[in-house]
Amino acid sequence: MIQAEAQRADEDGFLVATENPPDEQTQIILLSGLASFNESRVGPDPVRDPRNHLCVVARDAAGRVRGGLQGVIVGAWLATDLVWVEESYRRRGLGARLLAEAEAEALRRGCKWAILATFDYQAPGFYSRRGYVEYARMEDFPWGSTRFQLRKTLT
C-alpha cells in the first residue's frame, strides 16, 4: 500500500504525501509534465538528440576499450557525464588525452565552456590541473564524501 492511501485530503482537496517508491505511471506523468513545460520555453531537450552526444573512446591495439568519456553538448556547453580509464592504464596520460579530445570536439561544435562533476575520491586534482575550477561543493554527498562541480572556459 502506498503511504498516501492512508492519509486524508486537505481542505483544498489535495493529498500531499511521500510515495516510495512511486509507481511507474506516476513517474511518467512527472517526467513528461516537466519535459513538456521545458520544451514550451526552450525547445526540444538537447540531451534527447543523439547528434548532441559526445563519446571519446581509448582502445588498445587489440581493440579493447581501456577508457572513455561521455558527455552531451547543451547550447554552448560541453557537459561531461563520465570519464573512466581502466586502472592499469591510469597515470599514463590517457585521461588527459580523452579530455583534450572531447574539449577539441566541443570547440568544433561551437562550445565555449565545459562543466562536469567529480567526487573527492575520484579526480578533482586531475581536472584542476587541466584548467577546471570549482564553482560548487556538496558536502556529505553521499555521507562522508564531497561532490565538486567544476567548469572551464574552452579556448
Q: pTM here?
A: 0.80
- Whether the pLDDT of residue 1 is over 70: the answer is no
Q: Using an 8 Å Cβ cutoff, are 112 and 140 in contact?
A: no
pLDDT of residue 48: 81
pLDDT interval class at 6 (50, 70, 90)? low
Cell of 126: 586531475
- Mean pLDDT in residue range 26-32: 92
Computed over every residue of the chain, the mean pLDDT equals 92
Please tell me the distance from the alpha carbon of residue 132 to that of residue 124, in angstroms, as a whole number. 9
- Mean pLDDT in residue range 77-83: 97
pLDDT of residue 42: 80
- Whether the pLDDT of residue 106 is over 80: the answer is yes
pLDDT of residue 4: 47
- Mean pLDDT in residue range 45-50: 79
3-state secondary structure 38-94: HHHHHCCCHHHCHHHEEEEEEECCCCCEEEEEEEEEECCEEEEEEEEECHHHCCCCH
